[in-house]
Amino acid sequence: MHLLRFTLSVEIVVLPVAGLGSRFLPATKVTPKEMLPIVDVPLVQLAVEEAVRAGVREIVLVTSPLKPTIEAHFREATALESVLVHKGNKLGLDAVRNTLPEGVVIHVVFQLEALGLGHAVLCAKDIVGNRPFAVMLPDDLIDSSGLGCLADMVEIYKERGSYSLAVENVAIEHTNKYGIATLDGNRIIGLVEKPDPSVAPSTLAIVGRYILPPEIFPVLETINAGAGGEIQLTDGISALLNTYIFEIQKLNGTRYDCGSKLGHLQANIVYAFKDKALAEQLYHWLNEEFLLSYSAAPI
């Protein structure tokens, strides 16, 4: 049984961001889905900020050559900064300069074929090397207290040497949309990808945050395609469950599926209410204009 490494820290995260975002077309024809804003901050930046709060100092963007905007977002924008300085726009200047926190390194690798989440993670193998690492799916925006979901998971690794997956309970009819976990206490003893509700072992769904050992890479290199003809990350993790301890991290907060239109809209409304000035205006509009305009409209 493998439990402890010499250094119990997680300093690198993999962000799979190569998908087409077809549910948001035509908006994503040019703008990557991960660059769609939650109020005024792109989803991918919110993921990076959560990772940095967890102590991560290296970000691996697994992206597509067709999506250069994501990488560009984290580069210096000297010309834009000069314009903002000239205009005296300090708020805008600070926002641009804080896009990438100081001391954080961005790596970019390309996933040239859409072969699944497991394949996307495998693309980061050479950069991650022999280190424990995190995986975050920016689509899963988790609004939680404290430092965030990933920070809680990193603490599990630091304290007990256990790897972990974030989970939440979902309705039984939705199990065919997620990887589903089976537990012995808090330990994961089985995983199945997108099971039919009639055979789902539980309703505990994996939701976009993982702490993994580097030993998953040789497994992902050799496993056969699973559900949907893709290399499934859950299949790779399943192969390690008898060798390494994986625990669950139940969400302490609310998850918004920003890969769906409804989830993206919900997140924008919730995050708008976090801005005091914007919240007051939005509340007024919703209650005194929107509801009056649409209260008599058929839905």
Owner of token pair 């409804």: 262
Query: Hey, is 173 helix, strand or coil?
Result: helix
Q: What CATH architecture does domain 12-258 belong to?
A: Alpha-Beta Complex (3.90)
- Quote the CA–CA distance of 50 and 174 in Å, as a whole number: 27
Tell the burial category of 248 from Cβ atoms under 10 Å away from its Cβ (0-12, 13-18, 19+).
buried
- Quote the CA–CA distance of 19 and 114 in Å, as a whole number: 7
Task: Give the CB-side neighbour count of residue 270, counting CA atoms within 13 A.
Answer: 16
Tens of pLDDT, residues 126-168:
999 999 999 999 999 999 988 999 999 999 999 999 999 999 9
What single DSSP character describes residue 20? -
How far is C-alpha 222 from the geometric centre of its chain's CA atoms? 25
Q: Tell me the domain boundaries of the chain.
A: 12-258, 260-299
Per-residue pLDDT, 5: 47
Tens of pLDDT, residues 53-107:
999 999 999 999 999 999 999 999 999 999 999 999 999 999 999 998 889 999 9
Query: Hey, is 5 helix, strand or coil?
Result: coil
Residues 6+ apart with CB under 8 A from 19: 33, 114
- Quote the CA–CA distance of 239 and 275 in Å, as a whole number: 45
